Chain A
Amino acid sequence: MNNQEYAKYVKEVTPAKSLWLNMLKAFVIGGIICTIAQFILNYLISMDFSKEDAAGILNIILIGFAVIFTGLGYYSKLGNFAGAGTLVPITGFANSIASATIEYKKEGYVFGVGCKIFTIAGPVILYGIVSSWFAGLIYYIVNYVI
């Protein structure tokens, strides 16, 4: 058996999670998180906050809850069930930073938290900035050059 044949054989005998079931779970849990967020946003707007202020306050609330749930150990369990449903919303971003902070705090505030806080979130920040720079470039070309 060569490497390619073995890889093919391994694929045959390795069970995989159902893609459809996974997407359904992500849709339901992610949907619930976003519905709760929308509910809070609507409530804040009804309290006479401007749309921008309400969105800012909402983010603080969502991040706060995600960090608390991470600390209590619930978010990782929910994430194992929901997959992208908990990964994609801003709560997932908060979880990635909070979990790294908790894990590396024991290694000190400089070499632990300081160096490793963005271990997971780092790529999101870096490539988020890079892609928004490209989006800005396209926006500039479309609006001012053409």
Chain B
Amino acid sequence: MNQTQIIGKASLSFNKPAYISNYASVVGQLEGQGPLGKLFDCVEKDPMFGGTTWEEAESFLQNQTLRTLFKKSSLKPTDIRYIFAGDLLGQLIASTFGIINYNMPFFGLYGACSTMGESLALASMTIAGGFADKTIAMASSHFASAEKTFRFPLGYGCQRKQCATWTVTGCGAVALDSKEGIAKITGITPGKMVDFGVKESDNMGACMAPAAADTILTHLTDFNLNANYYDKIITGDLGYVGQTILINLLKQNKIDISANHMDCGIEIFDNANQGTGSGGSGCGCSASTLCSMILKNIENKVWKRVLFVPTGALLNPISFNEGKSIPGIAHAVVIEEV
């Protein structure tokens, strides 16, 4: 491997980019009614996606997204060297049962809601390093399976805090290619875990914003760039609270992203009409927004280059009950027009 690809503290600048050859997104009804509704490939009315349990519903959602991706492109499962995917459920059961029938070599990833960044980073590294010619990066989340895993049974009547986010029912899959595509990934900055001791699981924006700030700062330093180099710096699911904190934290480091910052969680829902709180969250939030609005805008030359920074809050119900804090993580991926 060429040494010059390694730059700064944590980043990679690919000599040969990984091309995005195609992408697909499938979401639930609430997301379909949201501001990005028309941009998704498929809006599924059945919250069970044809399954009988919430866990099965999420794996059917992943399965349907892959089916859509193969239908949109000329790809076949046998063309894919490796698939990198993940979700929020215990031991990645949604990805396991969603992907199993496609018979593709599979790397299961957990990065909480940052999984789309992690999968894109690894899938593009694999291509840029010459270890594969075609890969897929995918992530999903489902409102009901996430509520069941992290909060209460769906029918339980309790109040949501105003700063709480709403888990997106959605999945996004990106097909990467070593030769050609509609967009290209030219570099990545994998993030480190940042913990400011926040223990409020219903204020995940506050848990994740310092990690996003750290990754963006590291990225700009490593690549020696100004924030306005990017048309958009797009975080995953910080929501309104997290966005405020991120912009402030970066301002303290003399970086102003207030003009070009965008958050998938804020874009995907319309809180005033949909009552979704601080914004959307979950792996599916950044994944489905990437595979609809973001890649469409790059494909249509609206944006030249964006920094895609999915964010994750690393908790599980046990660590939370045992009084552990909630560290955040964020991975940056540079996506440019071709």
Q: Which residues of A contact B (CB under 8 A)?
A: 1, 3, 6-7, 9-10, 13-17, 22, 70-71, 73, 75-80, 82-83, 86-87, 92, 95-96, 98-100, 102-104, 106, 119-120
Q: Does B42 contact A (CB under 8 A)?
A: no
**Cβ-defined contact, B163 with A103, below 8 A:** no
Nearest Cβ in chain B — how far from A124, in angstroms? 13
**Cβ-defined contact, A104 with B153, below 8 A:** yes
**Cβ-defined contact, A76 with B157, below 8 A:** yes
Q: Looking across the interface, which residue of chain B has its beta carbon closest to that of A66?
A: B157
Nearest Cβ in chain A — how far from B160, in angstroms? 6
**Cβ-defined contact, B198 with A80, below 8 A:** no
Q: Decide yes or no: A14 and B203 within 8 Å by CB, A7-B197, A7-B198, A99-B152 being known contacts.
A: yes
Given A80-B159, A87-B157, 8 other A-B contacts at CB below 8 A?
A7-B197, A10-B198, A10-B206, A14-B203, A17-B161, A78-B157, A87-B158, A98-B155
**Contact among A15, A80, A102 for B157, CB-based, below 8 A:** A80
Q: Which residues of B contact A (CB under 8 A)?
A: 52-53, 148, 152-163, 196-198, 203, 206, 210, 241, 244-245, 248-249, 252
**What are 11 of the A-B contact pairs (CB < 8 Å)?**
A9-B245, A10-B198, A10-B206, A13-B248, A14-B163, A16-B162, A75-B155, A76-B154, A80-B158, A80-B159, A95-B155
**Cβ-defined contact, B156 with A95, below 8 A:** yes
Contacts of A22 in B (CB 8 A): 159
Pick the 4 closest A-B CB pairs, nearest first: A79-B157, A99-B155, A103-B153, A3-B197
Separation of A104 and B153 alpha carbons in the complex (Å): 8
Residue among A77, A80, A103 with max Cβ neighbours from chain B (10 Å): A103
**Cβ-defined contact, A79 with B241, below 8 A:** no
**Contact among B155, B196, B210, B244 for A103, CB-based, below 8 A:** B155
Nearest Cβ in chain A — how far from B30, in angstroms? 14
Contacts of B245 in A (CB 8 A): 9-10, 13
Contacts of A102 in B (CB 8 A): 153-155
**Contact among B53, B157, B249 for A75, CB-based, below 8 A:** B157
Contacts of B206 in A (CB 8 A): 10, 14
Q: Total number of A-B contacts with CB less than 8 angstroms?
A: 93
Separation of A79 and B151 alpha carbons in the complex (Å): 15
Contacts of A106 in B (CB 8 A): 52-53
Separation of A76 and B153 alpha carbons in the complex (Å): 10
Contacts of B197 in A (CB 8 A): 3, 6-7
Contacts of B203 in A (CB 8 A): 10, 14
Q: Decide yes or no: A13 and B244 within 8 Å by CB, A73-B155, A76-B155 being known contacts.
A: yes
**Cβ-defined contact, A96 with B156, below 8 A:** yes
Q: Decide yes or no: A3 and B153 within 8 Å by CB, A13-B244, A80-B159 being known contacts.
A: no
Separation of A105 and B152 alpha carbons in the complex (Å): 15
Separation of A98 and B155 alpha carbons in the complex (Å): 8
**Contact among A6, A15, A119 for B153, CB-based, below 8 A:** A119
Contacts of B148 in A (CB 8 A): 103
Contacts of A17 in B (CB 8 A): 159, 161-162
Separation of A3 and B326 alpha carbons in the complex (Å): 12
Contacts of B252 in A (CB 8 A): 1
**Cβ-defined contact, A71 with B155, below 8 A:** yes
Separation of A77 and B154 alpha carbons in the complex (Å): 10
**Cβ-defined contact, A120 with B153, below 8 A:** yes
Separation of A14 and B241 alpha carbons in the complex (Å): 6
Contacts of A13 in B (CB 8 A): 241, 244-245, 248
Separation of A14 and B302 alpha carbons in the complex (Å): 33
Nearest Cβ in chain B — how far from A111, in angstroms? 14
